[in-house]
Structure 1
Protein backbone atom coordinates (compact mmCIF):
# COMPACT_ATOMS: atom_id res chain seq x y z
CA UNK A 1 0.00 0.00 0.00
CA UNK A 2 1.28 3.46 -0.96
CA UNK A 3 0.33 6.01 1.68
CA UNK A 4 0.27 9.82 1.79
CA UNK A 5 -0.49 12.08 4.75
CA UNK A 6 -2.13 15.47 4.16
CA UNK A 7 -2.14 17.64 7.27
CA UNK A 8 -2.87 21.19 8.34
CA UNK A 9 -0.23 23.29 10.10
CA UNK A 10 -1.75 23.08 13.57
CA UNK A 11 0.51 21.96 16.39
CA UNK A 12 -1.77 19.08 17.36
CA UNK A 13 -2.06 17.82 13.78
CA UNK A 14 1.72 17.90 13.37
CA UNK A 15 2.09 15.95 16.60
CA UNK A 16 -0.41 13.33 15.42
CA UNK A 17 1.45 12.92 12.11
CA UNK A 18 4.77 12.48 13.92
CA UNK A 19 3.24 9.94 16.30
CA UNK A 20 1.64 8.04 13.41
CA UNK A 21 4.96 7.78 11.55
CA UNK A 22 6.75 6.72 14.73
CA UNK A 23 4.23 3.99 15.52
CA UNK A 24 4.13 2.78 11.91
CA UNK A 25 7.95 2.54 11.81
CA UNK A 26 7.86 0.52 15.04
CA UNK A 27 5.70 -2.08 13.30
CA UNK A 28 8.60 -2.77 10.91
CA UNK A 29 6.17 -3.72 8.13
CA UNK A 30 6.87 -3.69 4.40
CA UNK A 31 3.16 -3.58 3.56
CA UNK A 32 3.04 0.22 3.72
CA UNK A 33 5.32 2.74 2.03
CA UNK A 34 4.97 6.52 1.78
CA UNK A 35 4.27 8.01 -1.64
CA UNK A 36 2.95 11.58 -1.79
CA UNK A 37 2.76 11.62 -5.59
CA UNK A 38 0.67 8.55 -6.41
CA UNK A 39 -0.79 7.12 -3.20
CA UNK A 40 -3.38 4.38 -2.78
CA UNK A 41 -4.61 5.89 0.49
CA UNK A 42 -4.53 9.52 1.67
CA UNK A 43 -4.85 10.18 5.39
CA UNK A 44 -6.13 13.67 6.15
CA UNK A 45 -5.14 14.91 9.61
CA UNK A 46 -6.95 17.99 10.85
CA UNK A 47 -10.56 19.01 10.26
CA UNK A 48 -13.07 18.83 7.43
CA UNK A 49 -11.31 21.80 5.81
CA UNK A 50 -8.11 19.78 5.68
CA UNK A 51 -9.89 16.92 3.98
CA UNK A 52 -11.33 19.32 1.40
CA UNK A 53 -7.76 20.42 0.73
CA UNK A 54 -6.65 16.80 0.33
CA UNK A 55 -9.55 16.14 -2.04
CA UNK A 56 -8.62 19.02 -4.34
CA UNK A 57 -4.91 18.17 -4.14
CA UNK A 58 -5.58 14.64 -5.43
CA UNK A 59 -8.63 15.48 -7.58
CA UNK A 60 -6.98 14.05 -10.70
CA UNK A 61 -6.45 10.67 -9.00
CA UNK A 62 -9.88 10.03 -7.49
CA UNK A 63 -10.36 6.77 -9.39
CA UNK A 64 -7.35 5.27 -7.61
CA UNK A 65 -7.22 6.97 -4.19
CA UNK A 66 -9.10 6.21 -1.00
CA UNK A 67 -9.31 8.81 1.77
CA UNK A 68 -9.24 8.48 5.54
CA UNK A 69 -10.12 11.37 7.85
CA UNK A 70 -8.44 11.75 11.24
CA UNK A 71 -9.80 14.63 13.29
CA UNK A 72 -7.63 16.46 15.77
CA UNK A 73 -10.61 18.36 17.14
CA UNK A 74 -14.26 17.38 17.41
CA UNK A 75 -15.68 14.68 15.14
CA UNK A 76 -16.46 15.91 11.64
CA UNK A 77 -18.46 14.67 8.70
CA UNK A 78 -15.48 13.22 6.85
CA UNK A 79 -13.67 11.61 9.76
CA UNK A 80 -14.04 8.06 11.02
CA UNK A 81 -11.03 8.31 13.35
CA UNK A 82 -10.02 10.47 16.28
CA UNK A 83 -6.43 11.52 17.01
CA UNK A 84 -6.15 9.10 19.96
CA UNK A 85 -6.95 6.05 17.80
CA UNK A 86 -3.66 5.84 15.88
CA UNK A 87 -2.91 2.25 16.93
CA UNK A 88 -6.31 1.02 15.74
CA UNK A 89 -5.93 2.89 12.44
CA UNK A 90 -2.51 1.33 11.79
CA UNK A 91 -3.97 -2.11 12.52
CA UNK A 92 -6.64 -1.48 9.87
CA UNK A 93 -4.09 -0.30 7.31
CA UNK A 94 -1.75 -3.24 7.89
CA UNK A 95 -4.60 -5.75 7.65
CA UNK A 96 -6.27 -4.15 4.64
CA UNK A 97 -6.58 -7.09 2.26
CA UNK A 98 -9.69 -6.36 0.20
CA UNK A 99 -9.53 -2.54 -0.02
CA UNK A 100 -13.17 -2.00 0.92
CA UNK A 101 -14.55 1.43 0.09
CA UNK A 102 -17.58 3.64 0.56
CA UNK A 103 -18.30 6.17 -2.18
CA UNK A 104 -19.92 9.61 -2.04
CA UNK A 105 -21.33 11.66 -4.96
CA UNK A 106 -19.48 14.73 -6.20
CA UNK A 107 -20.60 17.92 -7.90
CA UNK A 108 -19.28 18.83 -11.34
CA UNK A 109 -19.34 22.48 -12.39
CA UNK A 110 -18.84 23.57 -16.00
CA UNK A 111 -17.97 27.27 -16.28
CA UNK A 112 -18.19 29.21 -19.55
CA UNK A 113 -16.55 32.65 -19.78
CA UNK A 114 -17.57 35.44 -22.12
CA UNK A 115 -14.25 35.15 -23.99
CA UNK A 116 -15.02 31.52 -24.86
CA UNK A 117 -12.83 29.88 -22.23
CA UNK A 118 -14.28 26.93 -20.33
CA UNK A 119 -13.30 25.01 -17.22
CA UNK A 120 -14.63 22.02 -15.33
CA UNK A 121 -14.23 21.74 -11.56
CA UNK A 122 -15.23 19.07 -9.04
CA UNK A 123 -16.52 19.93 -5.56
CA UNK A 124 -16.90 17.68 -2.54
CA UNK A 125 -19.19 20.03 -0.58
CA UNK A 126 -20.59 22.76 -2.79
CA UNK A 127 -20.15 25.41 -5.43
CA UNK A 128 -21.53 28.91 -4.92
CA UNK A 129 -21.94 31.96 -7.09
CA UNK A 130 -22.59 35.30 -5.37
CA UNK A 131 -22.49 39.01 -5.99
CA UNK A 132 -20.16 40.69 -3.46
CA UNK A 133 -22.06 43.96 -4.07
CA UNK A 134 -25.56 44.42 -5.43
CA UNK A 135 -28.01 41.81 -6.66
CA UNK A 136 -27.20 38.71 -8.65
CA UNK A 137 -29.56 38.35 -11.62
CA UNK A 138 -29.54 35.05 -13.48
CA UNK A 139 -31.82 32.77 -15.47
CA UNK A 140 -31.97 29.22 -14.13
CA UNK A 141 -32.46 26.47 -16.72
CA UNK A 142 -33.17 22.80 -16.02
CA UNK A 143 -32.51 20.44 -18.93
CA UNK A 144 -32.33 23.40 -21.29
CA UNK A 145 -35.70 24.86 -20.32
CA UNK A 146 -36.07 28.14 -18.43
CA UNK A 147 -37.24 27.47 -14.89
CA UNK A 148 -37.01 30.89 -13.22
CA UNK A 149 -35.25 34.24 -13.21
CA UNK A 150 -33.36 34.57 -9.95
CA UNK A 151 -32.65 37.81 -8.11
CA UNK A 152 -30.85 37.79 -4.80
CA UNK A 153 -27.46 37.38 -3.16
CA UNK A 154 -26.54 34.12 -4.88
CA UNK A 155 -27.05 30.41 -5.53
CA UNK A 156 -25.35 27.29 -4.22
CA UNK A 157 -25.22 23.76 -5.59
CA UNK A 158 -24.28 21.10 -3.05
CA UNK A 159 -23.60 17.40 -2.81
CA UNK A 160 -25.42 15.20 -0.28
CA UNK A 161 -22.48 15.31 2.15
CA UNK A 162 -22.09 19.02 1.46
CA UNK A 163 -25.77 19.53 2.24
CA UNK A 164 -24.80 19.69 5.92
CA UNK A 165 -22.47 22.66 5.36
CA UNK A 166 -23.27 26.04 3.75
CA UNK A 167 -26.42 24.58 2.19
CA UNK A 168 -27.91 23.79 5.60
CA UNK A 169 -27.02 27.26 6.89
CA UNK A 170 -29.13 28.91 4.17
CA UNK A 171 -32.14 26.62 4.70
CA UNK A 172 -31.37 23.73 2.36
CA UNK A 173 -32.35 20.14 3.08
CA UNK A 174 -29.95 17.55 4.51
CA UNK A 175 -29.54 14.72 1.97
CA UNK A 176 -28.28 11.19 2.54
CA UNK A 177 -25.16 10.38 0.45
CA UNK A 178 -26.80 7.25 -0.94
CA UNK A 179 -28.79 9.65 -3.16
CA UNK A 180 -27.00 10.25 -6.46
CA UNK A 181 -28.16 13.84 -6.61
CA UNK A 182 -27.24 17.50 -6.06
CA UNK A 183 -29.18 20.35 -4.51
CA UNK A 184 -29.66 23.93 -5.67
CA UNK A 185 -30.46 26.44 -2.93
CA UNK A 186 -31.08 30.18 -2.98
CA UNK A 187 -29.18 32.76 -0.94
CA UNK A 188 -31.50 35.60 0.12
CA UNK A 189 -33.71 35.61 -2.97
CA UNK A 190 -35.96 38.61 -3.70
CA UNK A 191 -39.61 37.62 -3.84
CA UNK A 192 -42.43 40.11 -4.35
CA UNK A 193 -45.36 40.76 -6.68
CA UNK A 194 -42.81 41.77 -9.30
CA UNK A 195 -40.02 39.24 -8.77
CA UNK A 196 -40.72 35.61 -8.02
CA UNK A 197 -38.64 32.44 -7.54
CA UNK A 198 -39.56 29.02 -6.20
CA UNK A 199 -37.96 29.89 -2.87
CA UNK A 200 -37.29 26.24 -2.02
CA UNK A 201 -34.28 23.99 -2.56
CA UNK A 202 -34.28 21.86 -5.73
CA UNK A 203 -33.09 18.24 -5.67
CA UNK A 204 -31.67 17.33 -9.06
CA UNK A 205 -31.04 13.74 -10.17
CA UNK A 206 -27.99 12.40 -11.94
CA UNK A 207 -29.60 12.68 -15.39
CA UNK A 208 -30.31 16.41 -15.13
CA UNK A 209 -28.27 19.56 -15.67
CA UNK A 210 -28.81 23.00 -14.13
CA UNK A 211 -27.54 26.02 -16.05
CA UNK A 212 -27.25 29.42 -14.37
CA UNK A 213 -27.11 32.05 -17.13
CA UNK A 214 -25.80 35.29 -15.69
CA UNK A 215 -27.01 38.72 -16.70
CA UNK A 216 -23.97 40.06 -18.52
CA UNK A 217 -23.73 43.54 -17.01
CA UNK A 218 -19.99 43.30 -16.38
CA UNK A 219 -20.41 43.19 -12.60
CA UNK A 220 -18.03 41.00 -10.60
CA UNK A 221 -19.21 37.77 -8.98
CA UNK A 222 -17.57 35.51 -6.45
CA UNK A 223 -17.31 31.90 -7.58
CA UNK A 224 -16.32 29.30 -5.01
CA UNK A 225 -15.72 25.56 -4.97
CA UNK A 226 -15.54 24.23 -1.42
CA UNK A 227 -12.84 26.34 0.29
CA UNK A 228 -11.49 27.77 -2.98
CA UNK A 229 -12.85 31.03 -4.35
CA UNK A 230 -12.12 33.71 -6.93
CA UNK A 231 -13.67 36.93 -8.23
CA UNK A 232 -14.55 37.15 -11.92
CA UNK A 233 -16.45 39.62 -14.07
CA UNK A 234 -16.57 37.65 -17.31
CA UNK A 235 -18.63 34.52 -16.51
CA UNK A 236 -21.30 33.78 -19.11
CA UNK A 237 -22.90 30.73 -17.51
CA UNK A 238 -22.21 27.88 -15.15
CA UNK A 239 -23.70 24.38 -15.26
CA UNK A 240 -24.08 21.98 -12.33
CA UNK A 241 -24.54 18.23 -12.51
CA UNK A 242 -23.82 15.06 -10.56
CA UNK A 243 -20.32 13.98 -11.47
CA UNK A 244 -19.68 10.52 -12.87
CA UNK A 245 -16.66 10.44 -10.55
CA UNK A 246 -17.10 9.71 -6.85
CA UNK A 247 -14.83 10.16 -3.86
CA UNK A 248 -13.78 6.93 -2.15
CA UNK A 249 -13.21 6.47 1.57
CA UNK A 250 -11.53 3.46 3.15
CA UNK A 251 -14.30 1.51 4.84
CA UNK A 252 -12.52 0.18 7.88
CA UNK A 253 -15.00 1.58 10.33
CA UNK A 254 -17.39 3.89 8.55
CA UNK A 255 -19.77 5.98 10.66
CA UNK A 256 -23.45 6.04 9.75
CA UNK A 257 -24.37 9.34 8.06
CA UNK A 258 -27.35 10.12 10.30
CA UNK A 259 -25.20 9.49 13.36
CA UNK A 260 -22.80 12.14 12.03
CA UNK A 261 -25.70 14.56 11.61
CA UNK A 262 -27.14 13.80 15.04
CA UNK A 263 -23.83 14.08 16.89
CA UNK A 264 -22.79 17.28 15.06
CA UNK A 265 -26.01 19.28 15.29
CA UNK A 266 -28.09 17.78 18.09
CA UNK A 267 -25.62 16.10 20.44
CA UNK A 268 -25.24 12.61 21.80
CA UNK A 269 -27.83 13.10 24.54
CA UNK A 270 -31.42 13.49 23.36
CA UNK A 271 -33.74 14.62 26.16
Structure 2
Protein backbone atom coordinates (compact mmCIF):
# COMPACT_ATOMS: atom_id res chain seq x y z
CA UNK A 1 0.00 0.00 0.00
CA UNK A 2 1.56 3.29 -1.14
CA UNK A 3 0.78 6.69 0.31
CA UNK A 4 1.99 10.27 0.31
CA UNK A 5 1.33 13.03 2.84
CA UNK A 6 0.78 16.71 2.06
CA UNK A 7 0.71 18.93 5.14
CA UNK A 8 0.02 22.54 6.04
CA UNK A 9 3.52 23.09 7.44
CA UNK A 10 2.56 24.32 10.91
CA UNK A 11 4.00 22.72 14.05
CA UNK A 12 0.99 20.51 14.80
CA UNK A 13 0.70 19.24 11.23
CA UNK A 14 4.43 18.46 10.98
CA UNK A 15 4.24 16.53 14.25
CA UNK A 16 1.32 14.50 12.89
CA UNK A 17 3.25 13.76 9.68
CA UNK A 18 6.02 12.12 11.72
CA UNK A 19 3.46 10.10 13.65
CA UNK A 20 1.76 9.04 10.42
CA UNK A 21 5.06 7.88 8.88
CA UNK A 22 5.95 5.79 11.95
CA UNK A 23 2.56 4.08 12.13
CA UNK A 24 2.44 3.57 8.36
CA UNK A 25 5.87 1.91 8.38
CA UNK A 26 4.75 -0.39 11.20
CA UNK A 27 1.88 -1.52 8.94
CA UNK A 28 4.17 -2.13 5.97
CA UNK A 29 3.03 0.91 3.99
CA UNK A 30 5.41 2.60 1.56
CA UNK A 31 5.75 6.34 0.98
CA UNK A 32 5.55 7.06 -2.76
CA UNK A 33 5.27 10.42 -4.48
CA UNK A 34 4.97 8.83 -7.93
CA UNK A 35 2.26 6.20 -7.41
CA UNK A 36 0.34 6.72 -4.16
CA UNK A 37 -2.81 4.71 -3.51
CA UNK A 38 -3.77 7.30 -0.88
CA UNK A 39 -2.94 10.99 -0.81
CA UNK A 40 -3.28 12.12 2.80
CA UNK A 41 -3.86 15.80 3.53
CA UNK A 42 -2.98 16.99 7.05
CA UNK A 43 -4.22 20.54 7.62
CA UNK A 44 -7.30 22.39 6.45
CA UNK A 45 -9.27 22.63 3.23
CA UNK A 46 -6.49 24.73 1.72
CA UNK A 47 -4.09 21.83 2.25
CA UNK A 48 -6.44 19.49 0.41
CA UNK A 49 -6.54 21.95 -2.51
CA UNK A 50 -2.74 21.88 -2.59
CA UNK A 51 -2.80 18.07 -2.54
CA UNK A 52 -5.27 18.00 -5.43
CA UNK A 53 -3.15 20.22 -7.65
CA UNK A 54 0.05 18.45 -6.65
CA UNK A 55 -1.42 15.07 -7.64
CA UNK A 56 -3.55 16.30 -10.51
CA UNK A 57 -2.03 13.60 -12.73
CA UNK A 58 -2.93 10.76 -10.34
CA UNK A 59 -6.71 11.20 -10.18
CA UNK A 60 -7.41 7.87 -11.88
CA UNK A 61 -5.46 5.83 -9.33
CA UNK A 62 -5.21 7.84 -6.09
CA UNK A 63 -7.83 8.41 -3.39
CA UNK A 64 -7.69 11.42 -1.08
CA UNK A 65 -8.04 11.40 2.71
CA UNK A 66 -8.13 14.44 4.99
CA UNK A 67 -6.93 14.82 8.60
CA UNK A 68 -8.24 18.04 10.11
CA UNK A 69 -5.94 20.53 11.86
CA UNK A 70 -7.37 23.64 10.21
CA UNK A 71 -10.27 25.98 10.92
CA UNK A 72 -12.85 24.61 8.48
CA UNK A 73 -12.71 21.02 7.28
CA UNK A 74 -15.19 20.14 4.55
CA UNK A 75 -12.62 17.77 3.02
CA UNK A 76 -11.36 16.20 6.27
CA UNK A 77 -12.98 13.17 7.90
CA UNK A 78 -10.41 12.56 10.64
CA UNK A 79 -9.09 14.32 13.72
CA UNK A 80 -5.44 14.27 14.89
CA UNK A 81 -6.10 11.70 17.63
CA UNK A 82 -7.54 9.21 15.15
CA UNK A 83 -4.46 8.57 12.97
CA UNK A 84 -3.87 5.07 14.34
CA UNK A 85 -7.47 4.08 13.63
CA UNK A 86 -7.27 5.55 10.13
CA UNK A 87 -4.08 3.66 9.22
CA UNK A 88 -5.54 0.40 10.54
CA UNK A 89 -8.59 0.85 8.30
CA UNK A 90 -6.44 1.84 5.30
CA UNK A 91 -4.67 -1.53 5.57
CA UNK A 92 -7.68 -3.70 6.37
CA UNK A 93 -9.48 -5.78 3.70
CA UNK A 94 -12.22 -3.73 1.96
CA UNK A 95 -15.07 -5.52 3.77
CA UNK A 96 -13.48 -5.07 7.18
CA UNK A 97 -12.49 -1.44 6.58
CA UNK A 98 -15.91 -0.52 5.11
CA UNK A 99 -14.02 1.51 2.52
CA UNK A 100 -16.26 3.53 0.23
CA UNK A 101 -14.84 5.57 -2.62
CA UNK A 102 -16.91 8.65 -3.43
CA UNK A 103 -16.31 10.69 -6.57
CA UNK A 104 -16.93 14.42 -6.82
CA UNK A 105 -16.98 16.57 -9.97
CA UNK A 106 -14.35 19.08 -11.05
CA UNK A 107 -14.56 22.13 -13.28
CA UNK A 108 -12.52 22.21 -16.48
CA UNK A 109 -11.42 25.62 -17.75
CA UNK A 110 -9.98 26.35 -21.20
CA UNK A 111 -8.40 29.78 -21.69
CA UNK A 112 -7.86 30.89 -25.31
CA UNK A 113 -5.60 33.85 -26.09
CA UNK A 114 -5.47 36.23 -29.07
CA UNK A 115 -2.57 34.35 -30.67
CA UNK A 116 -4.74 31.21 -30.75
CA UNK A 117 -2.92 29.35 -27.98
CA UNK A 118 -5.18 27.48 -25.58
CA UNK A 119 -4.47 26.27 -22.04
CA UNK A 120 -6.61 23.84 -20.04
CA UNK A 121 -6.89 23.91 -16.26
CA UNK A 122 -8.80 22.06 -13.55
CA UNK A 123 -10.24 23.27 -10.25
CA UNK A 124 -11.63 21.41 -7.25
CA UNK A 125 -13.36 24.44 -5.70
CA UNK A 126 -13.61 27.33 -8.13
CA UNK A 127 -12.30 29.36 -11.02
CA UNK A 128 -12.55 33.16 -11.03
CA UNK A 129 -11.68 35.92 -13.47
CA UNK A 130 -11.36 39.55 -12.40
CA UNK A 131 -10.24 42.75 -14.08
CA UNK A 132 -7.00 44.24 -12.74
CA UNK A 133 -6.79 47.63 -14.46
CA UNK A 134 -10.55 48.19 -14.68
CA UNK A 135 -13.85 46.41 -14.16
CA UNK A 136 -14.44 43.22 -16.08
CA UNK A 137 -16.70 43.61 -19.12
CA UNK A 138 -17.56 40.28 -20.74
CA UNK A 139 -20.21 38.55 -22.81
CA UNK A 140 -21.48 35.37 -21.20
CA UNK A 141 -22.81 32.59 -23.44
CA UNK A 142 -24.63 29.47 -22.27
CA UNK A 143 -24.37 26.49 -24.63
CA UNK A 144 -23.15 28.79 -27.42
CA UNK A 145 -26.14 31.14 -27.06
CA UNK A 146 -25.61 34.75 -25.88
CA UNK A 147 -27.05 35.13 -22.38
CA UNK A 148 -25.88 38.46 -20.91
CA UNK A 149 -23.26 41.17 -21.00
CA UNK A 150 -21.55 41.41 -17.64
CA UNK A 151 -19.80 44.37 -16.06
CA UNK A 152 -18.42 44.20 -12.55
CA UNK A 153 -15.51 42.96 -10.48
CA UNK A 154 -15.54 39.45 -11.90
CA UNK A 155 -17.17 36.04 -12.39
CA UNK A 156 -16.85 32.94 -10.20
CA UNK A 157 -17.41 29.43 -11.55
CA UNK A 158 -17.60 26.87 -8.73
CA UNK A 159 -17.97 23.14 -8.35
CA UNK A 160 -20.42 21.68 -5.81
CA UNK A 161 -17.42 21.17 -3.49
CA UNK A 162 -16.63 24.87 -3.86
CA UNK A 163 -20.23 25.97 -3.34
CA UNK A 164 -19.53 26.36 0.40
CA UNK A 165 -16.47 28.54 -0.24
CA UNK A 166 -16.18 31.80 -2.24
CA UNK A 167 -19.45 31.03 -4.03
CA UNK A 168 -21.38 31.13 -0.75
CA UNK A 169 -19.99 34.56 0.12
CA UNK A 170 -21.30 35.78 -3.26
CA UNK A 171 -24.82 34.62 -2.43
CA UNK A 172 -24.65 31.37 -4.39
CA UNK A 173 -26.46 28.19 -3.43
CA UNK A 174 -24.85 25.31 -1.54
CA UNK A 175 -24.88 22.13 -3.64
CA UNK A 176 -24.30 18.59 -2.50
CA UNK A 177 -20.86 17.60 -3.89
CA UNK A 178 -22.21 14.46 -5.56
CA UNK A 179 -24.17 16.56 -8.08
CA UNK A 180 -22.47 16.83 -11.47
CA UNK A 181 -22.89 20.54 -12.02
CA UNK A 182 -21.17 23.91 -11.94
CA UNK A 183 -22.40 27.23 -10.59
CA UNK A 184 -21.92 30.71 -12.04
CA UNK A 185 -21.91 33.60 -9.56
CA UNK A 186 -21.43 37.30 -10.18
CA UNK A 187 -18.83 39.30 -8.28
CA UNK A 188 -20.19 42.82 -7.65
CA UNK A 189 -22.05 43.24 -10.95
CA UNK A 190 -23.03 46.70 -12.20
CA UNK A 191 -26.56 46.90 -13.61
CA UNK A 192 -27.82 49.87 -15.64
CA UNK A 193 -29.42 50.53 -19.03
CA UNK A 194 -26.32 49.29 -20.86
CA UNK A 195 -25.31 46.29 -18.77
CA UNK A 196 -28.01 43.94 -17.51
CA UNK A 197 -27.30 40.67 -15.72
CA UNK A 198 -29.45 38.04 -14.07
CA UNK A 199 -28.32 39.12 -10.61
CA UNK A 200 -28.39 35.62 -9.14
CA UNK A 201 -26.25 32.52 -9.44
CA UNK A 202 -26.97 29.95 -12.15
CA UNK A 203 -26.46 26.19 -11.95
CA UNK A 204 -25.53 24.29 -15.12
CA UNK A 205 -25.76 20.49 -15.32
CA UNK A 206 -23.17 18.21 -16.81
CA UNK A 207 -22.85 18.43 -20.62
CA UNK A 208 -23.69 22.15 -20.50
CA UNK A 209 -21.01 24.78 -20.78
CA UNK A 210 -20.55 28.50 -20.48
CA UNK A 211 -18.21 30.77 -22.42
CA UNK A 212 -16.82 34.07 -21.16
CA UNK A 213 -15.70 36.57 -23.83
CA UNK A 214 -13.87 39.50 -22.20
CA UNK A 215 -14.58 42.78 -23.95
CA UNK A 216 -12.51 44.98 -21.67
CA UNK A 217 -8.83 45.39 -22.45
CA UNK A 218 -5.98 45.12 -19.98
CA UNK A 219 -4.88 42.49 -17.54
CA UNK A 220 -7.00 39.85 -15.86
CA UNK A 221 -6.46 38.03 -12.58
CA UNK A 222 -7.32 34.36 -12.92
CA UNK A 223 -7.58 32.08 -9.91
CA UNK A 224 -7.89 28.30 -9.74
CA UNK A 225 -8.59 27.36 -6.12
CA UNK A 226 -5.60 28.77 -4.19
CA UNK A 227 -3.52 29.44 -7.32
CA UNK A 228 -3.57 32.80 -9.12
CA UNK A 229 -1.87 34.33 -12.14
CA UNK A 230 -2.21 37.27 -14.52
CA UNK A 231 -3.25 37.00 -18.15
CA UNK A 232 -3.81 39.47 -20.97
CA UNK A 233 -5.11 39.21 -24.52
CA UNK A 234 -7.69 36.63 -23.43
CA UNK A 235 -10.30 36.08 -26.15
CA UNK A 236 -12.46 33.38 -24.56
CA UNK A 237 -12.80 31.10 -21.55
CA UNK A 238 -14.88 27.92 -21.61
CA UNK A 239 -16.03 26.31 -18.35
CA UNK A 240 -17.70 22.94 -18.02
CA UNK A 241 -17.93 19.92 -15.76
CA UNK A 242 -14.81 17.86 -16.32
CA UNK A 243 -14.86 14.26 -17.50
CA UNK A 244 -12.35 13.60 -14.72
CA UNK A 245 -13.36 13.36 -11.07
CA UNK A 246 -11.65 13.31 -7.69
CA UNK A 247 -12.01 10.29 -5.39
CA UNK A 248 -12.22 10.52 -1.62
CA UNK A 249 -11.72 7.44 0.56
CA UNK A 250 -14.46 7.19 3.17
CA UNK A 251 -14.13 4.66 5.98
CA UNK A 252 -17.13 5.91 7.98
CA UNK A 253 -20.22 8.06 7.40
CA UNK A 254 -19.76 11.82 7.54
CA UNK A 255 -22.90 13.40 6.04
CA UNK A 256 -22.29 16.54 4.01
CA UNK A 257 -25.23 18.42 5.49
CA UNK A 258 -23.92 17.73 8.99
CA UNK A 259 -20.68 19.42 7.96
CA UNK A 260 -22.60 22.39 6.60
CA UNK A 261 -24.60 22.71 9.82
CA UNK A 262 -21.51 22.48 12.02
CA UNK A 263 -19.59 24.98 9.90
CA UNK A 264 -22.23 27.69 9.50
CA UNK A 265 -24.99 27.12 12.04
CA UNK A 266 -23.66 25.17 15.01
CA UNK A 267 -25.49 22.81 17.34
CA UNK A 268 -27.63 25.23 19.31
CA UNK A 269 -31.20 25.13 17.98
CA UNK A 270 -32.72 27.17 20.82
Structure 1 length normalisation: TM-score?
0.95
Within 5 Å, give how 1:8-19 maps onto structure 2: 8-19=8-19
**1:165 is aligned to 2:165:** yes
TM-aligned CA deviation for residue 178 of structure 1: 2.2
Deviation at 1:254, TM superposition (A): 4.1
Measure the CA separation in 2 of the matches of 1:193 and 1:83. 55
Instruction: Give the C-alpha shift of residue 232 in structure 1.
Output: 1.2
1:39-188, aligned counterparts within 5 Å? 39-97=36-94, 100-188=100-188
After TM superposition, the score normalised by the length of structure 2 is: 0.95
Segments of 5+ residues of structure 1 without an aligned counterpart are none
Q: In structure 2, the residue corresponding to 1:81 is in which secondary structure?
A: coil
* Cα distance in structure 1, aligned partners of 2:71 and 2:46: 13
Between the aligned partners of 2:48 and 2:178, the Cα distance in structure 1 is 20
Give CA-to-partner distance per residue, 1:82-116, whole Å, 9 cap, x none. 11111111111121436530111110001101111
Aligned length: 267
Query: Root-mean-square deviation (CA), in Å?
Result: 1.3
Q: Is the 8 A contact 1:75 1:82 kept in 2?
A: no
Note if contact 2:138-2:216 (Cα within 8 Å) is conserved in structure 1.
Answer: no
Give the C-alpha shift of residue 71 in structure 1: 1.0
Alignment-derived partner of residue 201 in structure 1:
201
Measure, in 2, the Cα distance between the counterparts of 1:54 and 1:247: 11
Task: Provide runs of 4+ in structure 1 moved above 6 Å.
Answer: none
Choose which of 10, 26, 29 in structure 1 pairs with 2:27: 29
Residue pair 1:216, 1:236 contacting (<8 A) in 2 also: no
Q: Choose 56-65 or 193-202, whichever is displaced more.
A: 193-202
List alignment gaps of at least 5 residues for structure 2: none
Alignment check: 8 A CA contact 2:41 2:48 kept: yes
**Stretch moving more, 230-239 or 93-102:** 93-102
* 2:245 paired residue number: 246
In the alignment, which residue of structure 1 is the partner of 2:258?
259
8 Å CA contact 2:101–2:250 kept in 1: the answer is: yes
